[in-house]
Amino acid sequence: MMENQKQIVLLAGTKETRIALSHQLQSILGDFFHIRSYSSEEMLPSLLENEIVILSSYLIKREVAHCLSDSCKVITARRTVNYEYMDQLLQLPEGTDVMYVNDFPQTVEQSVQTLIHLGIDHLNYLPYYPGIPQYQYADIAVTPGEMHLVPKEVKKIINIGVRLIDITTITEILSELDVLDDRATGISERFTEKIIQLSKKLALANQKALQLNEHLDKVLNGVNDGILSFDHTGKITVFNEELENIFSTASKQAVGKNIRQIIRDKELLHFLIATENEESDQFFTIHDTNVMVHRFTLPADNTMIATFKNTSTTISMEKAARHELKRKGYIGKYFFSDIIGNSEEIVRTKNIAKKLAATDLSLLIQGESGTGKELFASSIHNESGRRNGPFLAVNCSALSEDLLESELFGYEEGAFTGAKKGGKQGLFEQAEGGTIFLDEIGDISVKLQTRLLRVLQEKELRRVGGTRVLPIDVRVISATNKDLASDIKQGLFREDLYHRLNVLYLKIPALRERKGDIPLLLNHFFSMRSTKKMKVDNEVIGHLINRSWSGNVRELKNAIEYMLAVCDGERITVSDLPQEVMRIRSFKESLEREAMQEIAATTEELPLIAPNEEATLMECIYHNHITGKASSRKSLLKELESKGVTLSEAQIRLRLDLLERKGYIVKAKGRKGTRLTESGLVFVKSELV
Ligand SMILES: Nc1ncnc2c1ncn2[C@@H]1O[C@H](COP(=O)(O)OP(=O)(O)OP(=O)(O)O)[C@@H](O)[C@H]1O
């Protein structure tokens, strides 16, 4: 200590205040003055004379009066909050409730005023001091070092430290000591240093917030959808670039305005400001742009958010996505409109399939080979909610067990010799969000059945040789031409897997059960091959209709391809028929034993109708058709009898049912009676006339 160094005495109420203030004085004035400090809580000095005494607050005046003689110069400190801790308050969101805790009502009042003056006015200060008659509780308490006064229930305490002596008091001390001029600059610089530090912190935080805002802006403007948000008063807070395009309104004009000033469409406005909290979607046309608007609320801050999806852009994006899937071959090529046929059987099957498409459940399709199982699977996918996802078809009988396993479930690097570096995604992973079609499911090994069952049960899979569990979201449509129920009995197929696959069931009729569709299919396959109208001899159609088609539509398609290849390019005659079709030469010849056997072997699901009965019945109906008479069961009974065929009315009804299922006739009630269809006419013309 220098000789003659001037002295300052600090008197405080508590030890904590004494330490904080003497520390402050020391750091600002310590180089020039000697500072002694006392607190009434610890021990006060004996009578002070000729000293410059600083009181920490006017509240302690009485307590310390006995230590002060008249010769002392007493300065009561004005105190201000400690800037060093202010950033903790600045981090709290706007409008947060905080309890301000201090020892006396006056100090609470003063400090809150100071904070508000300092610009820390974004908080809702609720006063608290010991003995306050009534107070409002908040989870957060702010206190200048008076931690022990904070009510126990408070969850978080922000200690902003003991309030410090303000600059005006420091100036007063300096002038009292008569050193204002020479040292004031340096001293006030030290004082303001802390404030500068805080401003720096704030500037930095501000800069970060700005960066974050810019980043958010980029994100909001980078998306293809319009994004709008507004608060509970209707004030718009976000209006991104895409919305500028949709509404032809600049974001600058919209943000801060009330939504009612910007959105003129009453229906849209009504939809956006609807009070119910539920999310909802609605379609609107805004300035010729079709948009799907999705709205939801953020209950925490009572904000409404709406996204505007431009449907034409979305459709073209979906097209692009489909194009990409198509490039990979992961697309369902067929739609219900590609399934040709108007027989009762096929129409009913299509109607059921459309209903099944609306669900997301596993489906087992059963049908003979070539009946169009893949056609149905693809159409169901394309009509389902997964239509924009991939459609992958796998023929389970085409691959060896190991290959099928790694194709379906993928493998990790090093799973087996020859495994690709980095492993490989399986078809299940690639079908994510879409549908996988497992054809010939009855042919998979028991080991793969077990694996598949696990995937279906847990909706997650593990690649071959892997430990990672990957969640999957894939609809499984499987198909079989086998009788899986009998495979289960023989222990060849797991019953539990069968039930998983067979949640929904669809049976595709064989072609011979809907022969009426043959002429339509014929035209369809012709038009697929050439634009030229082909003439087809009736006799050819008769042959095609008479065949039992054990290979179903695929076999018919192949036969048609064959005929197109061998015909003269304009007309198809009997000589163009493939040999196997010619095996049944004509309907009458089909009574020959070999042909009879074939029909019997392939039509077991349809009750048999003796060919002579069928022919005679058709003849009678045809006769009535050309003479304009109605074919009632009674009239047919008589006509058949006259031709030597004796059948009861019930037997006739059964046979008419069968002819209808084949697509040859349509039964109608009343006077019209039974009528011939086009296929029926073709049948009659080629076989009977
Ligand atoms: N109703 C139909 N309309 C048009 N084409 C059809 C119809 N049914 C089947 N096809 C065609 O027949 C062929 C065989 O169909 P698909 O492959 O779907 O049969 P599948 O029952 O899955 O056969 P498999 O049991 O051999 O797997 C395909 O070329 C398909 O386009």
CATH of the domain at 385: 3.40.50.300
The overall longest dimension of the chain from CA atoms, in Å, is 151
Candidate from 318-332, 357-371, 598-612 with smallest mean pLDDT: 598-612
User: Domain for residue 202, yes or no?
Assistant: no
Are 41 and 127 members of one domain?
A: no
Are 562 and 483 members of one domain?
A: no
Tens digit of each residue's pLDDT (9 = 90 or more) over 626-665: 887 878 888 888 888 888 888 888 788 878 887 887 778 8
Token pair of 130 as six digits:
């010991």
User: Domain for residue 206, yes or no?
Assistant: no
- Distance (Å, whole) CA 452 – CA 500: 10
Q: What is the dihedral of CA 253, 255, 258, 260, to 10 degrees?
A: 60
Are 493 and 428 members of one domain?
A: yes
Identity of the residue numbered 179: V
Are 487 and 534 members of one domain?
A: no
Write down the pLDDT at residue 242: 87
375 lines ligand 1 (CB under 6 A): yes
Residue 112 is inside which H or E element, if any?
helix 105-117
- Per-position b or e across 91-109, b if 16+ CB within 10 A of its CB: ebeeeeebbbbbbeeebbe
Query: Are residues 23 and 145 in contact, defined by beta-carbon separation less than 8 angstroms?
Result: no
Q: What is the CATH number of the domain that holds 288?
A: 3.30.450.20
Tell how far the Cα of 371 is from the centroid of ligand 1, in angstroms. Answer: 5
Are 364 and 382 members of one domain?
A: yes
* Pairing label, strands 7-12, 34-39: parallel
- Residue for token digits 């089909």? 590
- Distance (Å, whole) CA 678 – CA 687: 14
Tens digit of each residue's pLDDT (9 = 90 or more) over 414-439: 766 666 677 788 899 999 999 999 99
- Distance (Å, whole) CA 38 – CA 21: 11
Are 352 and 467 members of one domain?
A: yes
- Distance (Å, whole) CA 462 – CA 412: 9
Query: What mean pLDDT comes out for the span 264-270?
Result: 89
Please, what is the average pLDDT of the chain? 83
Confidence of residue 595 (pLDDT cuts 50, 70, 90): very low
Q: Show the DSSP H helices in 490-582 as ranges.
A: 495-501, 518-529, 538-546, 552-566, 579-582
Domain's final residue, options 255, 278, 313: 313
Write down the pLDDT at residue 258: 93
Are 63 and 91 members of one domain?
A: no
Are 368 and 448 members of one domain?
A: yes
Is residue 666 pLDDT above 60, yes or no? yes
Domain's final residue, options 580, 602, 624: 602
Q: What is the CATH number of the domain that holds 109?
A: 3.40.50
Q: Containing domain of residue 564, as a range?
A: 511-602
Q: Which protein residue's CA is at the shortest distance from atom 13 of ligand 1? A: 554
User: Domain for residue 59, yes or no?
Assistant: yes
378 lines ligand 1 (CB under 6 A): no
Confidence of residue 3 (pLDDT cuts 50, 70, 90): very low
- Distance (Å, whole) CA 396 – CA 24: 83
Tell how far the Cα of 319 is from the centroid of ligand 1, in angstroms. Answer: 26
Tens digit of each residue's pLDDT (9 = 90 or more) over 368-415: 999 999 999 999 999 999 998 899 999 888 778 888 888 899 888 776
Query: Are residues 328 and 351 in contact, defined by beta-carbon separation less than 8 angstroms?
Result: no
- For 300-362, the three-class secondary structure string (H helix, E strand, C coil) is HHCEEEEEEEEHHHHHHHHHHHHHHHHHHCCCCCCCHHHCCCCCHHHHHHHHHHHHHHCCCCC
User: Domain for residue 652, yes or no?
Assistant: yes
Query: Are residues 263 and 269 in contact, defined by beta-carbon separation less than 8 angstroms?
Result: yes
Are 236 and 299 members of one domain?
A: yes
Domain's final residue, options 451, 482, 507: 507
Confidence of residue 589 (pLDDT cuts 50, 70, 90): very low
Question: Could you give the C-alpha distances from 627 to 280, 644, 659, 675, in angstroms and in order?
Answer: 63, 21, 20, 12
Write down the pLDDT at residue 318: 61
- Distance (Å, whole) CA 192 – CA 194: 5
Write down the pLDDT at residue 121: 84
Write down the pLDDT at residue 346: 94
Candidate from 128-142, 237-251, 310-324, 634-648 with smallest mean pLDDT: 310-324
Q: Which protein residue's CA is at the shortest distance from atom 25 of ligand 1? A: 369
Is residue 127 pLDDT above 90, yes or no? yes
Task: Give the whole-number percent of the chain exceeding pLDDT 90.
Answer: 30
Closest C-alpha to 108, from 79, 87, 83: 79
- Distance (Å, whole) CA 578 – CA 560: 9
Are 363 and 404 members of one domain?
A: yes
User: Domain for residue 211, yes or no?
Assistant: no
Q: Can you give the pTM of this predicted structure?
A: 0.47
Within 8 A by CB and 6+ apart from 214, the residues are: none
- Residue to mutate, 350, 364, 375, ligand 1, most ligand atoms under 8 Å from C-beta: 375
Write down the pLDDT at residue 517: 93
Tens digit of each residue's pLDDT (9 = 90 or more) over 515-559: 999 999 998 998 887 777 788 888 888 888 888 898 999 999 989
- Distance (Å, whole) CA 307 – CA 312: 15
Tens digit of each residue's pLDDT (9 = 90 or more) over 330-352: 888 899 999 999 999 999 999 99
Confidence of residue 188 (pLDDT cuts 50, 70, 90): low
Is residue 596 pLDDT above 80, yes or no? no
User: Domain for residue 131, yes or no?
Assistant: yes
Closest C-alpha to 497, from 536, 547, 535, 445: 445
- Residue for token digits 């970060």? 208
Tell how far the Cα of 552 is from the centroid of ligand 1, in angstroms. Answer: 8
Q: What is the CATH number of the domain that holds 567?
A: 1.10.8.60
- Distance (Å, whole) CA 268 – CA 265: 5
Q: How many helices (H) and strands (E) does the chain have?
A: 27, 26
Confidence of residue 186 (pLDDT cuts 50, 70, 90): low
Token pair of 562 as six digits:
């064959």
User: Domain for residue 188, yes or no?
Assistant: yes
Write down the pLDDT at residue 688: 62
Domain count for the chain:
6
Tell how far the Cα of 430 is from the centroid of ligand 1, in angstroms. Answer: 24
482 lines ligand 1 (CB under 6 A): no
Token pair of 569 as six digits:
């390019």
Tens digit of each residue's pLDDT (9 = 90 or more) over 452-511: 999 999 888 888 887 778 889 999 999 999 888 888 888 889 999 999 999 999 999 999
* Pairing label, strands 475-480, 435-439: parallel
Query: What mean pLDDT comes out for the span 151-165?
Result: 89
Q: What is the dihedral of CA 500, 505, 511, 516, to 10 degrees?
A: -170
Closest C-alpha to 31, from 182, 225, 255, 235: 182
523 lines ligand 1 (CB under 6 A): no
Is residue 173 pLDDT above 70, yes or no? yes
Identity of the residue numbered 178: D
Three-state DSSP class for 202? helix
637 lines ligand 1 (CB under 6 A): no
Are 366 and 399 members of one domain?
A: yes
Q: Strands, DSSP E only, in 34-139? A: 34-39, 52-55, 73-76, 79-80, 97-101, 124-128
Q: Show the DSSP H helices in 161-179 as ranges.
A: 167-176
Is residue 602 pLDDT above 90, yes or no? no
Candidate from 182-191, 229-238, 303-312, 445-454 with smallest mean pLDDT: 182-191
554 lines ligand 1 (CB under 6 A): yes
DSSP letters of 244-277?
HHHHT--HHHHTTSBHHHH---HHHHHHHT----
Is residue 588 pLDDT above 60, yes or no? no
Which range scores top for mean pLDDT: 175-189, 240-254, 361-375, 390-404? Answer: 361-375
Are 391 and 452 members of one domain?
A: yes
Question: Could you give the C-alpha distances from 171 to 11, 178, 185, 186, in angstroms and in order?
Answer: 18, 10, 10, 12
User: Domain for residue 208, yes or no?
Assistant: no
Within 8 A by CB and 6+ apart from 450, the residues are: 494, 497
Is residue 75 pLDDT above 90, yes or no? yes
Query: Are residues 634 and 649 in contact, defined by beta-carbon separation less than 8 angstroms?
Result: yes
Write down the pLDDT at residue 475: 95
442 lines ligand 1 (CB under 6 A): no
Confidence of residue 597 (pLDDT cuts 50, 70, 90): very low
Within 8 A by CB and 6+ apart from 173, the residues are: 8, 29, 52, 54, 75
- Residue for token digits 């002579």? 612
Confidence of residue 577 (pLDDT cuts 50, 70, 90): confident
Within 8 A by CB and 6+ apart from 513, the residues are: 345, 605, 606, 661, 662
Q: What is the dihedral of CA 119, 123, 124, 125, to 10 degrees?
A: -70
Ligand 1 atom nearest the C-alpha of 369 is 25
Write down the pLDDT at residue 593: 40
Q: Is 171 or 278 the better-scoring residue by pLDDT?
A: 171
Token pair of 483 as six digits:
């009788």
- Residue to mutate, 554, 557, 558, 561, ligand 1, most ligand atoms under 8 Å from C-beta: 554
